[in-house]
Every structure is written in structure tokens, then in C-alpha cells.
Structure 1
């Protein structure tokens, strides 16, 4: 019917090209009635090609309108997306929420130079402190919902717990969860950071822990803690309370391997090296005038570095970085302290400097081990392998020191050492520290070997409950190899 050319099908309903009204049903009667009652008199004189050209013109006009609406919606969605992206980066870098307003100013100024036509879009990005806080809250809720959905597929899961105090003296309980589903897909995520306003006894930690975990009806496989008494107390510790409330759940318990490695590292101490170094650094860094003069002194002497580093006991790796910086700037520090009438004779004592070099080297080695133990998606047998490898290194270094070989200690090797006994003793003490810790991992070493290397483990080395499974795995592997040959 040629008089219906003013109606086109767009989206799900037919839309009139003239008035842009939609027709309820795609039926010829409804379309014809709309045309006859509203547009037949106006367009009755248009016939033939004129009628077709008019229809095409109205159709293109409608398409331009729809494209304009779509473009507006796309721009609005892009502006909101940018707001979420920047808010996430602010949260990841632990920056103040009010920094969003400064970032927006930077975006507008950059757009004014690079893309003036798009500046209006950047101006629409909402990054006020309240908006950033709301965006981060939305993202956190989305992460929690996603984690909850993944948790429904978990066959087993384990928990890692750490309690520490923030800058406002509020105790924070960090809860990390790692779960595995039937397809062996591992999900590892921070489940919650629970502020604790009151005491931090085992019962308090247990209540906060339950508030997070009760939402997951899962099979608990293991708990790793920081080893604090409130966590591992025999009767009232968090782990003991979890065992009491779940007597039929045979989960394993571990003391965080990184915490234990750090405790071993703290045992390394040669005479008064750390106390003198820390005292010297604090003298320079804690007084504004001294700090500025020291930085200027380093510039004048063309030193390798422009400043020294504070040591913070909570930030474990800062110890090694501080020692290396002090060792590299030992001459500059000594000369600067003389200008302050605070001459430190130790910085001119080659024996003390050799001690500093040894402590720098061994701390650097311990820091490298600590970094290997960190990060996501590390399995327990891999972490324990790193530890055993480091223990073998200690044995190698001890044997080399007994023969006056110090190749692996570059800072110590700068000095002529006549007596290596004290350094050998220090390494032996460190080895003893490693051997006296990590009992929980050594206890389960046979299980770790079975998991990591099932084809190199003999049947007699594994518990009886796993012997049949091991035999089946090894037989299937042998048959597969024979078939391939």
C-alpha cells in the first residue's frame, strides 16, 4: 500500500516517519488507521517519485535523531566509566579521595591543549571526594558479589589472617581467601578488612572472622595466621576456637611462611652495626636542617645517591635497602658527620665496615628470599622449595667461608678478611634459626612432595590413605608412556 510509505520499522515497533509516534502492533490495519487519521490529507498530493523521495528524506532525518540520542548515551556511559577507572586507581594507590578533583583539573587542562572539541566531555567527569568514595564503595561491593558467586563453586578453600594496627591506632583484621572449584580453577582474593574498635583477644578475632566467613557455606581446608598469641593460643586463640566450633573439619594450620622468614632474618646481627647505622640515619633524617645540608653535600660531591633511607621495622625489606645505601655512601656520611662535629670512628674502621658489608650482603639475600615468597598464585610446595634452596645456599656459604671464599658476598669481598670465624658463626646461627622454624611445613613435607612430584615419590613414603591413588597415577602414566613409544 503506497500510502503507508511514511511508516518504517525501527527497533521492535513500527515508527511513523512523520510524527515519530510508535504503533502498538505491527498490523496493516493499525498502520493504515494511523496514516488515514493523521497524515493522509497532508501527503495525498505526493505521488510517484516525489512520494518516495519524501519518505527517504524523513527516514534519514529519523536516523540522525536516533544516532544523536545513541551518541549522547554513549558519551554519558563513557564519562561514568572514566569516573570509575580513576576512582579505582585512587583506591589502589591509597590516595586521598579529594585527589579526584585535582585529577579532573589536569584532565581538563590536557584536553584544552590536545583535544579542545572533547573538553566538554572531560568537564562532565565527576570526581569529587563524595563521588570517588561512592564509586569505590560500588567497586568493593561488585568485588564482593563476584567473590561470593565464585565461592559457590568452591570445593575447598583456605583462609589467611593477619591482624595489624593502622595509623589511627585501629586494629585491622585482614582476611584473604583462596578457593578451588571442580575444574581446578583457583580464586585468590582479599575477602575483607575488618576494623576492630575494642580489644583484639582471640574471641574478638573469632567473632570478626565468623562475620566474614559465615556467608560462605564451604569446606574449610586450611588456616594461615601471623603466629600472634591471639591467633594460635592453645585454648583461647582464634584457631583453637575455630577447631572447637568445627570439630569434624580436619583443616591444616600454618604459621605464615613470610613471618617466619622475617623472624629468622632479625636474628642476624653483627656487634653494634645496626644500632650505629640507625642512630646515624636518624641524626641526619630526623632534623630538617641536617637533612637539607646532607642532600646538598651529596650534590656537591657528586655522590651516587641523593639521599639515605629510613629503616622501618614493619617494612621488612627497608632494612636491606637502608644498609646498602649507607654502605655505598659510607665515605660521604663520614665526612658529613665530621662537619657536624659528630665524628663516627666506626666509619673509618675497616673491621666495622667489613661487618657492615657482611650484614648488607646477607640481608640482601634474605630480602631476595622474602620477595620470592610474596605475591599471588604461589602454592605452598613452591614456597617451601624456596626455603629449602636457601638452606642449601647457607650450607654452601658456610663451607666457602671456612675456605675464605666470599664470592657471593660482593660488599664483604671489598675488604681483606683475615679471620672469617665470626661470619661463619653468624651463618651457622642463621641456619640453626631456619632449622628451628617451619615445623608445620616440615611436618607436611611428604604431602607437599606427593602433590608437587607424584611420579618421583615411592609408595612407602606417603600415608596409607594416599597409597592407592599414587599407584593408580603412576600406573596410568607408565601405560601412557608405553603406548606413546
Structure 2
């Protein structure tokens, strides 16, 4: 089994610690459920988080020696060390710790160092959307111009995927935005600068690719090997785009291609953009170094019989030589006669590569608002547990059998 641990504050500033478990039994089916949700009214140090995690495992009578993985979001100082110490006390194996793949992917984008473009776009969008009058006038302005789009989406830092939509819409409506801002007496010198427009186009292209990868990594039940394969494929794409950018080939950079057609190709800083792609690729390699070190273990699940036997762990070498391959997938083709490989596959299948489940749960905490003061921690936990449950079907017959029917005392012939 593996755990995903993360904490977030609700509207009353109470820290809610969510703990999800992903487990695999001897037949290798995967179970992924909420293990516990704990309210932490004081501090949230690694020691206190560990105590809550320990309580959850003890309450469910889960053995520490079955724990193989832990996914966290950010640095949980002291948590990992205490869990490893507890596992040593129980003679458990080594704990594999991952930082959330989705968070790491989102942080990679900061290596581009193009915050000045995003800040300018955010400032413009906030001017249009923050005041109702400006917003209404802008929408009317677009209607008068016969624009294909009727508005620009609002940007918030909390919603990562909104930035790509905001950038793309602003790029597509750039001419209309210039005219509207000028009608309001705003300086549009920066917005009309060709270098700024080229940088906006480049950022729009890259963020759209990053957002597509982010969506690919989301969801319930993904296998960690598939998640990392998507990241490795993206690194390869970055290498391709870098080469093409130096050649002036914008086949996969549609916004840059549009700018290239509108202005002189010499104005488009292709070499500068290629360097930024190189920096982004290096940042992906740095942030996902922990996953790269597990490459051999990942291959043992995705294609075990293609692994070089001499470099494989000793306890797996004899089973890797066995001609037991079937093309239907790792889970199906590993028979009971290969116990070591099945155990290795079980460990990989149980790994949680992200804290997506925790983040998804926190998004449901909007149920707890200052206007619902009677929604206690216990009520909140019940609501979130039901919301996060998979395949939960009410046993209506059993519930009804425990209730007594209230028989009317009126005579059969009496009037109601």
C-alpha cells in the first residue's frame, strides 16, 4: 500500500489533513480510497501530521510493513523521517517518497521566467473584469466589432489551468483589447510592442502544452509508470520543439506561427525562445530526478522481460529469464509462479504519483462556509468521505429493514 498526504485550510482556517490510500492485494486489483480526514486546530508540524497518519493506520489495523510509498505536496519536514523510523521498528522495507508529479510539473513552468508577460496580461484582464461597468462595456465593444469571442476569462492563481485559457484568449483578442484600453485612456505602448507580442505568443503556446500535460496527469487510478512516461515524453517533445524553433519551424507553435506571418521573421526571437525551451527541459530533468532514479523499477512493471537481466535485482533475475510473456499487460501475464515479479508489480501499482486525490477532496470543502456554522468537523468529514468514495451504492433494502413502519390507528372505514 501507499499513501498520499496533504493538508489545506477550510474557510474557518482549520487545517484539514487528508490521507488517501492505494492498495493492491495478491490478485493485483487496485483499491484507492480516502483513509482519513483529520481536523488540526493547532500547528501542523511533521510530528503532528505523523501522529494523525499513525492513528489512521492503527484504527484501520493496517500493518506498517506493507507500506511502500508516500506522495506529498511540498516539503513535510519531519514526516518522512518519522514514517521511515516507524517502518524500521516494524522491520518493513524501504519507503519510496515522491513529491506530487502534478505540482512538480506546474512548478517547472516558472523556469521560463516570463512572469512579466503573465503579470501584464493579468493586469489587463483584471482591469476589464474587476469592475462591472468595464466588463459590460468590453463585452458590448466586442459585439460592435463583430468579434468571434464575447469575453476574456478571469484569471486566478488557484486555478492553474485557467492561465492557458486567459493567455490564448488575450492573444486572440489582442487588437480588440488595444482599442478598448485606449478608449479608456490607458497606455498601450507595451501591449503594442512587437517583442511583447512575440513573447505573449510563445508563452501562450508553451502554457497550452503544459496545461495539456497537466490534464493528462490528473484523474483517479493512474499507474505511476504511465504518469512518468507522460513526463518523459514531454521532455522529448521539448527537445523537438527546441530544434524546430532554431530552424524557424513553428509547426507545433501555432501562436508563434501567426506572429511570424504578421511580422518580419527576423523580429521573432527564435534563438531566445529555443534557449527557454532548453532551460525548461533542464528544469524537468532536475525536478523529476527522483523518478528517473526509479526508471529500472518502472520498466519491471511496464515491460519486465525487456529489462537487462544482469542489472536487475538478484531476487528477480531467475524469474525474468522465464519465457512467460503474454502481450495483454503486466498484471495479466504475471502468473503465481513468478512471486517476486508479482510482488514488484504490486509495489509499483500501489504507488501514488500525486496528491491529486487530496486536491480534489479540498475542492469540495466549499461546503463549509461561514454561513453554515453548524457544519462541524465531524459533519464535514462525513460529507467528504461520501463524496470521495468510489462505487458507493446504498443498501436500500437493508436500511429499510431496520425501520419500523408507522401503522395508522384509524379504522379502515374512517375518513382521513
> TM-score scaled by structure 2?
0.72
The equivalent of 1:433 in structure 2 is: 283
In 2, Cα distance between equivalents of 1:162 and 1:303: 44
The equivalent of 1:225 in structure 2 is: 72
Match of 1:445 among 295, 298, 305: 295
- Note the C-alpha offset of 1:164: 2.2
The equivalent of 2:92 in structure 1 is: 249
Match of 1:192 among 15, 32, 36: 36
The equivalent of 1:85 in structure 2 is: none
- Note the C-alpha offset of 1:305: 2.4
Match of 1:351 among 173, 195, 216: 195
Worse overlay, 438-447 or 191-200:
191-200
In 2, Cα distance between equivalents of 1:440 and 1:326: 37
Change (3 A) 1:304 1:367: same
Match of 1:366 among 210, 215, 223: 210
| 8 Å Cα contact 1:331/1:347 also seen in 2 | no
RMSD over aligned CA atoms reads: 1.7
Count of residues paired in the alignment: 314
Match of 1:339 among 179, 183, 186: 183
In 1, Cα distance between equivalents of 2:272 and 2:287: 23
- Note the C-alpha offset of 1:226: 0.7
The equivalent of 1:322 in structure 2 is: 166
* Residue 176, structure 1, aligned to residue 23, structure 2: no
What SS does the aligned partner of 2:59 have? coil
Deviations 1:73-97 (A, max 9, x none): xxxxxxxxxxxxxxxxxxxxxxxxx
| 8 Å Cα contact 1:269/1:359 also seen in 2 | no
- Note the C-alpha offset of 1:224: 0.7
In 1, Cα distance between equivalents of 2:275 and 2:155: 26
Change (3 A) 1:168 1:413: farther
The equivalent of 1:456 in structure 2 is: 306
* Residue 213, structure 1, aligned to residue 57, structure 2: yes
In 1, Cα distance between equivalents of 2:124 and 2:252: 28
Matches of residues 372-387 of structure 1 in structure 2 within 5 Å?
372-387=216-231
- Note the C-alpha offset of 1:167: 3.4
In 2, Cα distance between equivalents of 1:318 and 1:389: 23
In 2, Cα distance between equivalents of 1:311 and 1:288: 16
* Residue 160, structure 1, aligned to residue 160, structure 2: no
Match of 1:396 among 229, 234, 240: 240
> TM-score scaled by structure 1?
0.62
| 8 Å Cα contact 1:160/1:177 also seen in 2 | yes
Deviations 1:278-333 (A, max 9, x none): 11111122222222222222232232222222222222111111111111111121
Match of 1:293 among 115, 127, 137: 137
- Note the C-alpha offset of 1:213: 2.3
Deviations 1:79-123 (A, max 9, x none): xxxxxxxxxxxxxxxxxxxxxxxxxxxxxxxxxxxxxxxxxxxxx
In 1, Cα distance between equivalents of 2:34 and 2:187: 49
In 1, Cα distance between equivalents of 2:30 and 2:306: 25
The equivalent of 1:100 in structure 2 is: none
Change (3 A) 1:445 1:343: same
- Note the C-alpha offset of 1:458: 1.7
What SS does the aligned partner of 1:246 have? helix
- Note the C-alpha offset of 1:415: 1.6
The equivalent of 1:420 in structure 2 is: 270
Unaligned runs of 5+ in 1: 1-156, 479-485
Unaligned runs of 5+ in 2: 327-416
In 2, Cα distance between equivalents of 1:181 and 1:160: 18
In 1, Cα distance between equivalents of 2:132 and 2:13: 27
Worse overlay, 396-405 or 207-216:
207-216
What SS does the aligned partner of 2:220 have? coil
Structure with bigger RCO (C-alpha 8 Å, 6+ apart): 2
Change (3 A) 1:238 1:288: same
In 1, Cα distance between equivalents of 2:251 and 2:96: 41
Structure with max Cα Rg: 1
In 2, Cα distance between equivalents of 1:191 and 1:298: 50
